[in-house]
Amino acid sequence: MEGDKSYEHHQQVNCGCGLSELFDLTGKIAIVTGASRGLGRAIAIGLAKAGANLVVTDVLDVREAIEEVQRTGREAVGLKVDVTNKKDVEEMAKQTINKFGRIDILVNNAGIYRSSTAESMSEGDWDKVVDVNLKGEFLCAQEVGRQMIRQREGKIVNIASVAGQFASPQSAAYNASKAGVILLTKTLAVEWAKHNIQVNSICPGVFATPMTEGLMEDKSFLNTVRSDVPMARAGRPDEIVGAVIFLASKASSYVTGHALVVDGGWTASL
Ligand SMILES: NC(=O)c1ccc[n+]([C@@H]2O[C@H](COP(=O)([O-])OP(=O)(O)OC[C@H]3O[C@@H](n4cnc5c(N)ncnc54)[C@H](O)[C@@H]3O)[C@@H](O)[C@H]2O)c1
């Protein structure tokens, strides 16, 4: 290996971490958007259990989510943030830095779904879905990314969907927005690799959350889940947490631009 620069570099930066250290987030500062309920709340609690202090944000009330995070023994502050509003997003980054001095992890989770055939989808629904799901993730990544560039490190996890990888019907805006998130993620990963910022996305399959509440009560939808998803069930919100911790921790130090599917085998069977 004499003269092999990449090997030398590897030797210099090798942290020699033990297994628990690889996934340890003690003292890290994490922002989660859309964290009042559903996957976002589970992610905030999961990050806190791994050691992070949390900034819990949503357009909805976040008090319950904050109390749950605080029960883990970590610090949590709540902010009302509409991810489509640039001023809110700027304030989110500013207040996090004022309170904690830095931002280590951003989980871009806020998202909405509107069902409609393509021919009857209103322009308003299209704009709303693309605004929240795609522009919202960009605005948050941009603002937090600027701070991470100054810090020379950071982890961004964008919640996309398997709907960004294959076309589920009556979901043109949602599918397009989530496909956009996957390529936005790759673009940021490529641009910010030199700043030591890793940017990855997660593609959940079907999870039981308030977003899918109506569907979970629909027998034919449940039958489709049982027949089409190899694990024959929807995911529980806590089952997204391991993937987020992996992508937010040292364990993924050489992983960037990836779209990690968490779907009970659904896309593997397509
Ligand atoms: N539940 C699923 O089956 C599933 C599958 C694939 C992807 N996802 C994605 O996971 C993420 C979380 O979904 P969920 O199922 O927990 O949904 P949810 O509706 O239960 O929670 C979404 C949260 O985002 C918040 N939000 C909506 N618009 C916002 C805005 N403009 N600014 C800030 N917050 C806003 C909501 O208030 C809510 O608290 C979304 O991006 C969703 O598209 C969910």
Please list the active-site residues: 174
Which residues span the domain enclosing 71? 18-259
Q: Does 264 contact ligand 1 (Cβ within 6 A)? A: no
Question: What spacing in Å lies between the alpha carbon of 14 and ligand 1's midpoint?
Answer: 37
3-state secondary structure of 108: strand
Question: What spacing in Å lies between the alpha carbon of 119 and ligand 1's midpoint?
Answer: 25
Q: Does 207 contact ligand 1 (Cβ within 6 A)? A: yes
- Domain membership of residue 266 (yes or no) is no
The pick from 32, 39, 87, 202 for probing ligand 1's pocket by mutation, whose C-beta has the most ligand atoms within 8 angstroms, reads 39
Question: What spacing in Å lies between the alpha carbon of 211 and ligand 1's midpoint?
Answer: 7
- Domain membership of residue 46 (yes or no) is yes
CATH of the domain at 208: 3.40.50.720
Q: Which helix (H) or strand (E) covers residue 93, if one does?
A: helix 86-100
pLDDT in tens, 160-194: 999 999 999 999 999 999 999 999 999 999 999 99
Q: Per-residue b/e over 116-130, b at no fewer than 16 CB within 10 Å? A: beeeebeeebbeebb
Q: Residue 1: pLDDT above 70?
A: no
Residues 91, 79 contacting (CB under 8 angstroms): yes
Percent of the chain clearing pLDDT 70 (strictly above)? 94
What does the block give as tokens for 233?
Answer: 């069930």
Q: What is the pLDDT of residue 20?
A: 87
Question: What spacing in Å lies between the alpha carbon of 113 and ligand 1's midpoint?
Answer: 8
Residues 48, 39 contacting (CB under 8 angstroms): no
72: DSSP letter: T
What does the block give as tokens for 137?
Answer: 């993730």
Count of domains in the chain? 1
Residue closest via CA to ligand 1's atom 17 equals 211
pLDDT in tens, 35-86: 999 999 999 999 999 999 999 999 999 999 999 999 999 999 999 999 999 9
Contacts with 240 (C-beta within 8 Å, 6 or more apart), sequence order: 39, 42, 43, 46, 202, 204, 207, 262
- Domain membership of residue 159 (yes or no) is yes
- Domain membership of residue 111 (yes or no) is yes
Q: What is the pLDDT of residue 11?
A: 46
- Domain membership of residue 134 (yes or no) is yes
- Domain membership of residue 197 (yes or no) is yes
Q: Does 209 contact ligand 1 (Cβ within 6 A)? A: yes
- Domain membership of residue 6 (yes or no) is no
Contacts with 159 (C-beta within 8 Å, 6 or more apart), sequence order: 39, 107, 108, 109, 111, 181, 201, 202, 204
Read off the amino acid at residue 229: V
236: DSSP letter: P
Q: Does 58 contact ligand 1 (Cβ within 6 A)? A: yes
pLDDT in tens, 85-144: 999 999 999 999 999 999 999 999 999 999 999 999 999 999 999 999 999 999 999 999
Please provide the average confidence, as pLDDT, over all residues in the chain.
95
Q: Per-residue b/e over 23-53, b at no fewer than 16 CB within 10 Å? A: bbbeebbbbbbbbbbbbbbbbbbbbbebbbb
CA distances from 78 to 70, 101, 179 (A): 11, 16, 29
- Domain membership of residue 4 (yes or no) is no
pLDDT bucket at 16, cuts 50 / 70 / 90: low
Q: Does 214 contact ligand 1 (Cβ within 6 A)? A: no
CB atoms within 10 A of CB 174: 24
Q: What is the pLDDT of residue 18?
A: 85
pLDDT in tens, 129-161: 999 999 999 999 999 999 999 999 999 999 999
